[in-house]
Amino acid sequence: MPLLFSPISIKTMTLKNRVVFPPIATNYGLRNNRVRHYLAERSLGGTGLVIIQGTPIELLASEKWIAALKPVVDSVHASGAAIGIQLWAGNELPNKDKVAPSARNEYREVSIAQLETVAKLFADAARDARDAGFDTINIHGAHGYFLHQFFSPLTNQRKDRFGGSLAKRIVFPIQCVQAIRTAVGADFPIMYRFSAVEYAPGGITLEDSLIFARELAGAGVDILDVSAGGQLDSVNITSPTAREPLGTHAHLAGALKQVVTIPVMAVGRFNTLEICEEALKEGKADLIAVGRQLLADPYWPAKLQEGRENEVIRCLSCNKLCAGNFRKNKAIACVANKELGREYLRK
C-alpha cells in the first residue's frame, strides 16, 4: 500500500490516510448548504482530513455562531473524513480598530492590552471549535496575516518584548499557541500554518523558521503546516504555477522535519501519487496538503487508491479561477472542473 494511504494518529485524531484538503478561501460563505456539499464532496472522494478556510476568531469565539457549523462538521464526518477549521486573525479588531505589530499606513501599533484580547479570542475560538465537534484546529500564521506579521522582520519593528530580535518576534505567536493549548486541553490536536520563507529581501529565512519550529512544538503544536510566501500579493508563491516543480515547498517541510519530532505537512503542487510518495518516503513530510488538485477532482484520492489514475481530472496550476477569482472577491471556480462550488445543486 502506498504510504499516502496509510493511517496516522495524532493525539485524539486518527486519519485514514495522509491526504489533507487544506484551508482554501472560496467566497462561498461559511455556514450554508453550498459549503456543506463542497466540503463533503472532498470527503467522499477519499481525503483523510478536510480543513475549513480561515475563519475570523471573533466569530468562532461565539458559541452561538459556531453552533451553526455543526451540519458541516456532521456532513464531513458522515462522508468519511476528519474535519478541522483554520483560525484566522486580521488587522481589524472586533471594535474596528486597525492595528498591526508596528505602525504602517492606516494601521497603528497594536497595544499590549489588545494583544491579550487577541490571544484570548484564539483560545476561545479553539475551545468552541473542539466543542462543536471539530477534530483539529489550524492556526493561520502564514501569508502575511496578523501572526505572520509578528514573525516577519519586514513588518515587526517593535521596541518592546514583542518585537525586534527573532526571539522577541515569536513571543506573541507562541503566546497564542499556549493560550489555545490551555483552553483545549492536552489531547486535542493543534496545527500551525506558517511561511518558512518569505522570498523577500530582509524577510523570514529558513534559519529563522528552524528556530520557530522548535519553539512551536515546545509550546504545544502537534502538526506543522509548512507553506511559503509573505505579503498577500505573492500568489505565485503560495499557489505555485505550472512553471514551478511538483512538490514545490517540500524541501522546506523536510528541513523543518529534521528539527522536530511532531508531524509535518508539505504543500505546493502535489498533483501525482509519485510526488506524494517521494516526499513521504524521503522523510520530508508526514502529511500532504492537496489543495487545487482536489478542487479540480475531489475524487483524486479514491481514483489513485483504486488504480484509476488515468481518470484523474488534472489541476493545471493556472490560478485563473481559484486564486484569480478570490483576488477579485468572486466565488472561486476551476478551469478543469465546472462543477466546483455547484455540488449543492446536484443534491
Average pLDDT, the chain: 95
Strand partners, 49: 20, 82
Query: Among 3.40.640.10, 1.10.3720.10, 3.20.20.70, 3.50.30.30, what is the CATH number of 3-346?
Result: 3.20.20.70
Name the pLDDT band for 229 (thresholds 50, 70, 90): confident
pLDDT, residue 158, reads: 96
Q: Which residues are catalytic?
A: 145
235 pLDDT above the threshold of 60:
no
Residue 48 CB partners (closer than 8 Å, separation 6+): 15, 16, 17, 18, 19, 20, 81, 82, 301
> Per-residue pLDDT averaged across 155-174, rounded?
97
Cell of 204: 523570514
Going from the C-alpha of 159 to that of each of 102, 144, 156, 209, the distances in angstroms are 9, 21, 9, 21
Q: Within 13 Å of residue 222, how many CA atoms lie on the same side as its CB?
A: 20
Distance CA 164, CA 8 (A): 39
Checking if the pLDDT of 233 tops 70, the result is no
Looking at residue 129, what is its pLDDT? 97
Which grid coordinates belong to 250?
Answer: 517540500
pLDDT of residue 231 exceeding 80, the answer is no
Average pLDDT score over residue span 225-231: 88
> How would residue 238 be classed by pLDDT, with cut points 50, 70 and 90?
confident
Instruction: Round to whole Å and give the CA distance between 222 and 236.
Output: 28
How do the domains of the chain map onto residue ranges? 3-346
Tell me the mean pLDDT in the region 142-160: 96
What is the value of pTM for the model shown? 0.96
Note the pLDDT of residue 128: 96
Q: How confident is the model at residue 346 (pLDDT cuts 50, 70, 90)?
A: confident
- Note the pLDDT of residue 241: 86
Print the SS3 string covering the chain. Answer: CCHHHCCEEECCEEECCCEEECCCCCCCCCCCHHHHHHHHHHHHCCCCEEEEEEEEHHHHCCHHHHHCCHHHHHHHHHCCCEEEEEEECCCECCCCCEEECCCECCEEECCHHHHHHHHHHHHHHHHHHHHCCCCEEEEEECCCCHHHHHHCCCCCCCCCCCCCCHHHHCHHHHHHHHHHHHHHCCCCCEEEEEECCCCCCCCCCHHHHHHHHHHHHHHCCCEEEEECCCCCCCHHHHCCCCCCCCCCCHHHHHHHHCCCCCCEEECCCCCCHHHHHHHHHCCCCCEEECCHHHHHCCCHHHHHHCCCHHHCCCCCCCCCCCHHHHHCCCCCCCCCCCCCCCHHHHC
In this structure, which amino acid lies at residue 307? G
Q: How confident is the model at residue 234 (pLDDT cuts 50, 70, 90)?
A: low
Of the chain, the percentage scoring pLDDT greater than 70 comes to 98
Whether the predicted pLDDT of 230 surpasses 90: no
